[in-house]
Amino acid sequence: MLIFKCKMCGGSLNIEEGNSVATCDYCGTKQTLPKLNDDRRANLYDRANHFRRNNEFDKAMGIYEQILAEDNTDSEAYWSRVLCRYGIEYVEDSATKRRVPTVNRAQYTSIFDDADYKAALEYGDLHQRKVYEEEAKAINEIQKAILAISQEEDAFDVFICYKETDDQGRRTPDSVLSNDLYHQLTREGFKVFFSRITLEDKLGSAYEPYIFAALNSAKVMVVIGTKAEYFNAVWVRNEWSRYLTLIKGGSDKILIPAYRDMDPYDLPEEFSHLQAQDMSKLGFMQDLIRGIKKITATESAKPQVTETVVVGAGSSNIKSLLDRASLFLEDGDWASADQYCERVLDQDPRNALAYLGKLMAEFRVKHQEGLADCAEPFEENSNYQKAARFADDNLKATLIGYNKSIRERNEHNRLDAIYNDAKMRMDSASTEEQYK
């Protein structure tokens, strides 16, 4: 019997060999279990789940990736990656005392379309799939509510990321410096997200919808810190790592680290390619504001683009992402192909080739022509419908042709089967009644 920690509350679970689902004696929550072949695997999961329970989602994600590198059929590792991607934190329900999910990293992509969620369902057993589907439904409802609120929010120019209080609950110097920057930027006419002020009338409400909206709309993030541990504080890191993910995904955004009273070499490694600013230097504030003005002015000066239907790449970055997705499809790495297509759609929601790539990943097709070999037509598939909707005439005709070929082949096979069955009956008939 292995001892494994509850992924919701951290209590000890006694796991019988062969079980894939268990209920925690401490929090009463039903949960799925990973493949635990040895103590090493159990320790990896305990460590990863510890980070995830403490909202250190990036650290946890790295360990789950290590587990999948050793066994790419472990459904629980795929599901755990989903929990990290959406920033799922389990909090105690005051009525039932059970743990329920909250979303701390909302995404535009529905959990039902997440490649890791699909992989978890593919590799999980019947009991695991039932739990995954129930949790996904709950997470999807929370996310829909977050997106509905965030869409009502005004766009921001600048997001100030900082640590508000220290371990004793006292206000940090970072908060004071951020407050200074906030007021100077607002005097210059910028719309600034500064949690101390922006969220003060949201007390008692979930902050995620407003943070999500600000992260996605702000063209500039300034990360302010006076200590290495403040830059790496859980919620500070979560904010700037999400912003960096948007940048890596192709979003036209700039992150500016700003430090004071510390060695710049102690900044997070993820900032090594960025131009950090020393706040103690004379004229720092004026230089920073001038830089932000240039960035936002460049954005506002861009010509307005009328709505167009995009079939091709559209930009060098999107073309690169589509090329990577194509290579993943050729290698049979369906999850990665789907994720790269999602990154394209985050930038260009009407890209027909991205929807085509998602369709191919879903049907495990390495080359586009292979769609004609699918067992059944796919007219009702949402990825096909969007690919056809946004495609040019040539691609649309090609996709329609694949479905036509499938229907014709299936009809031919059906008639063939009827003919062969009738012939077999005729060949084996020995009485007049059997010939009828």
> pLDDT tens across 144-200, in order?
999 998 888 889 999 999 999 998 889 999 999 999 999 999 998 999 999 999 998
Return the CATH architecture of domain 21-151.
Alpha Horseshoe (1.25)
CA distances from 72 to 51, 77, 123 (A): 21, 9, 9
pTM: 0.62
- Torsion over CA of 311, 312, 314 and 317, rounded to 10 degrees? 130
422 exposure class (CB count in 10 Å sphere: 0-12, 13-18, 19+): exposed
203 pLDDT band, cuts 50/70/90, is low
Which has the minimum average pLDDT: 123-137, 329-343, 351-365, 408-422?
408-422
Same fold for the domain at 21-151 and the one at 154-281?
no
Q: Please tell me the number of Cα atoms within 13 Å of 233 on its side-chain side.
A: 18
Band (pLDDT 50/70/90 cuts) for residue 361 is very high
Domain boundaries, the chain: 21-151, 154-281, 315-421
* Beta carbons of 430 and 396 less than 8 angstroms apart: no
Which of these CATH numbers, 1.25.40, 1.10.3470, 2.40.380, 1.10.150, describes 315-421?
Answer: 1.25.40
Are the C-beta atoms of residues 69 and 80 closer than 8 Å to each other?
A: no
What pLDDT sits at residue 303? 46
For strand 277-278 and strand 220-225, is the pairing parallel, antiparallel, or unpaired?
unpaired
Q: What is the C-alpha to C-alpha distance for residues 203 and 322, in angstroms, rounded to an integer? A: 43
Where does the pLDDT of residue 41 fall: very low under 50, low under 70, confident under 90, or very high at 90 and above? confident
94 Cβ partners below 8 Å, 6+ apart? none
Amino acid at 108: Y
> Could you tell me if 194 and 173 are in contact, meaning their C-beta atoms sit under 8 angstroms apart?
no
CATH superfamily placement of domain 154-281 = Toll/interleukin-1 receptor homology (TIR) domain (3.40.50.10140)
How high is the pLDDT of residue 298? Answer: 54
* Per-residue pLDDT band at 309 (split at 50, 70, 90): very low
- Predicted confidence band of residue 27 (pLDDT cuts 50, 70, 90): confident
